[in-house]
Chains A and B, each alone.
Chain A
Amino acid sequence: MTAETPPAHGAHGADASRIHNIGYRTYDGPRLGRAYATRSLYSQSLRGAYGLGRSAKSKVLPMILFGVMCAPALIMVAVAVATKADKLPVDYTRYAVLLQAVIGLYLAAQAPQTVSRDLRFKTVPLYFSRPIERVDYVRAKFAAMASALFILTATPLIVLYVGALLAKLDFPEQTKGFAQGLVSVALLSLLFAGIALVISAVTPRRGFGIAAVIAVLTISYGAVSTVQAIAHEQGGNDTAVQWLGLFSPITLIDGVQTAFLGATSSFPGGEGPSASVGVVYLLVVLALVAGSYVALMRRYRKAGL
């Protein structure tokens, strides 16, 4: 039993000398505060999005998807170098649109793990009992998810660009395309991260999160592209096709890059939105990013402690 411990030393008397005897060391070093804690949370979440610092099992999926994302780029580069082609088989801006299924899978797997883990295991109160505020938590998680997506989508572009330079393709043209591609995937990362985080933050259940993210991304794209195709078939109503693109994340990005980043549209008929409609697209993208940030803030007002 334990009766000897509590009353043995009169609680007030010999404290100071005892501390050293027992070996407890106080901490007098720096406390780096809120900004540092936010950065730590960001880097931990970003690493976590690729399974780093977690179990070997949780590295498998993100790493496979990362490989799948980069593999076509490597093949294209190899083909371009070997055949001495005068241009890459695919535009920089087009790459992410082509591989949107991979992006969707990655997002569905990693967005819930980034936010709903903390909710499910109720770790959130531990964060909020520390110097960081709600806004720091949301920003760190948002930034980490967007960065993870950017790494996923920008790395193949870098592969393509390096390959294009190795194949001695036209330097200014390639650089311009590469830069446009980077802007496009940056926008895509922000938009997709925001949408997926909001969806996953609603439920502490990871399974629901995964299903919901996949559903939102694929169903919206499936519906939009089907209706667009019908509209296009029935009398080539291209105005309708233009406006319909507003209703799914990937067609939004497609519209923006067609209007402003010199991409060729993947809309039926190849007619993307004009510059004026493109402004609407851009505004909708920005509004969605801001909206998901606000929604996350609201969500964590309730989820704290």
Chain B
Amino acid sequence: MIATESLSKRFPKVTALDRLTLDIGAGVTGLVGANGAGKSTMIKILLGLSPATEGTASVLGLDVATSGGQIRERVGYMPEHDCLPPDVSATEFVVHMARMSGLPPAAARERTADTLRHVGLYEERYRPMGGYSTGMKQRVKLAQALVHDPQLVFLDEPTNGLDPVGRDEMLDLIRRVHTDFGISVLVTSHLLGELERTCDHVVVIDGGKLLRSSSTTDFTQTTTTLAVEVTDSDEHPDGTGALRAALGARGVTTQDDGGGLPGAGHIVLLDAADEAVYDFVRDTVADLGLGLVRMEQRRHHIAEVFRTGHEQHGQRENHEQHEQHGHHGQPENPSGRPAAPTTTPPAPQTGGAQR
């Protein structure tokens, strides 16, 4: 989908991209970096709007330096900033944008209705956009990027300014853009927790340099840590404590989910190096008469790249990771949100019901 070869962009005072070589395939790819890491510059170059100082780049097999127009016909772009005139309705606006992408008038109308429905805008699409909530505006912005059925979309910080629910919905939508619509996605964010959930592949850039590029599963391999959550019962008002005590009595050491965060104490962490431990925990919970809310394998978080990214990824990582689990959700976690267990994909072995 996208390939760059020692791509550099230098401005008189700053180097935005520094000999970046990338190869991004189909699927959802996250582009992570702090503000000013060169994400937006890269999108501009890939759209053929800004010439690279050095190196080459191609999008969908077309050279960005010579085929910008063709690329832009088949690519969608959702900017980070607000870009919607308040006095027109979403329908009119998206129809206009569809025509600007080269769709004939009738097709533009049809595609607009379809796309707005897919992003979840219904009756409100006939109202002027000035009265929309941030969530609705983000949907319109996404719709105008998808309306011409591109092969690839660039989404620049699509979850900016959204509340947690809106963010979850947007992330689902992004995921669906690929799985249901068959459109590849390059999404930028500085929130790692989000990319972990949506992306197949994550590219981390820092100061215009490539820090790491690998599939999300590489970043988030499962660990041997098992997280267990149980309900309370009349007999055991503190179910978590009872489980902890029962497991302790049978020789299994447990930790709490640490960090001193409210609610974190309801998770029991233990080291499940072998399969028998799962059965053992299940039986223990059953004996206590508690409800098993969840039992899941903990995963690595992409955020850990920033802790360990500059070191060699060595054997000892697993060991370190194990210790670091005690710190999830603390402020140093660049994802900025507590590592809520519900957001990590459940491992196949998960027993119990999802909440």
Contact = CB atoms under 8 A, between A and B. Distances in A.
Given A1-B355, A31-B102, A18 B180 contact: yes
A27 B178 contact: no
Nearest to A32: B102
A132 B100 contact: yes
A82 interface: no
A235 interface: no
B342 A3 contact: yes
Interface in A1-28: 1-7, 9, 11-12, 15-16, 18-19, 22, 24-27
A262 interface: no
Contacts of A37: 99-102
Given A2-B171, A31-B103, A130-B72, A55 B87 contact: yes
Interface string B66-110: 000110110111010111111110001000110111111001000
Contacts of B355: 1
Name, among A16, A33, A126, the residue most crowded by chain B CB atoms within 10 Å (CB to CB): A126
Given A9-B179, A123-B84, A1 B168 contact: yes
Contacts of B49: 128-129, 304-305
Interface in A49-72: 53-55, 58
A29 interface: yes
Interface in B9-62: 27-28, 44, 47, 49-50
A266 B114 CA distance: 58
A51 to B, nearest CB: 10
Interface string B155-197: 0000000000000110110011011111000000000000001
B69 A126 contact: no
Interface string A120-158: 011101111111110000000000000000000000000
Contact of B354 (A3, A6, A15, A27): A3
Interface of B is mostly: mixed
Contacts of A132: 100
Interface string A190-224: 00000000000000000000000000000000000
Contacts, number: 149
A3 B86 CA distance: 34
A175 interface: no
B254 to A, nearest CB: 24
Interface string A165-193: 00000000000000000000000000000
Contact of A44 (B96, B103, B149, B342): B96
Contact of B144 (A2, A41, A58, A126): A126
Nearest to A44: B96
A9 B27 CA distance: 13
A54 B89 CA distance: 9
Contact of A31 (B148, B178, B342): B148
A136 B73 CA distance: 15
A18 B179 contact: yes
A7 B346 contact: yes
Contacts of A299: none
A60 B46 CA distance: 43
B209 interface: no
A305 B49 CA distance: 8
Contacts of B144: 126
A32 B105 CA distance: 10
Nearest to A35: B102
B345 A40 contact: no
B29 to A, nearest CB: 12
Contact of A19 (B28, B102, B180): B180
Nearest to A123: B83
Contacts of A54: 87-88
Contacts of B345: 3, 6-7
Contacts of B318: none
B198 interface: yes
A166 B208 CA distance: 73
A139 B235 CA distance: 79
Interface string B113-126: 01000100000000
Given A6-B198, A29-B103, A121 B85 contact: yes
A126 B97 contact: yes
B326 interface: no
Nearest to B28: A11
Given A6-B175, A129-B49, A122 B103 contact: no
B168 A31 contact: no
A117 interface: yes
B66 to A, nearest CB: 13
B244 interface: no
A127 B49 CA distance: 11
Name, among B179, B198, B354, the residue most crowded by chain A CB atoms within 10 Å (CB to CB): B179
A2 B86 CA distance: 31
A121 B84 contact: yes
Contacts of B308: none
B128 to A, nearest CB: 7
B81 A122 contact: yes
A125 B83 contact: yes
Nearest to B70: A131
B102 A129 contact: no
9 contacts: A1-B342, A24-B182, A29-B107, A30-B107, A40-B99, A54-B87, A118-B85, A133-B69, A305-B49
Given A1-B342, A15-B182, A122-B79, 9 more contacts: A2-B172, A7-B346, A15-B179, A37-B99, A40-B100, A126-B83, A130-B102, A131-B72, A305-B50
Interface of B: 27-28, 44, 47, 49-50, 69-70, 72-73, 75-77, 79, 81-88, 92, 96-97, 99-104, 107, 111, 114, 118, 128, 144, 148-149, 168-169, 171-172, 175-176, 178-182, 197-198, 200, 342-343, 345-346, 354-355
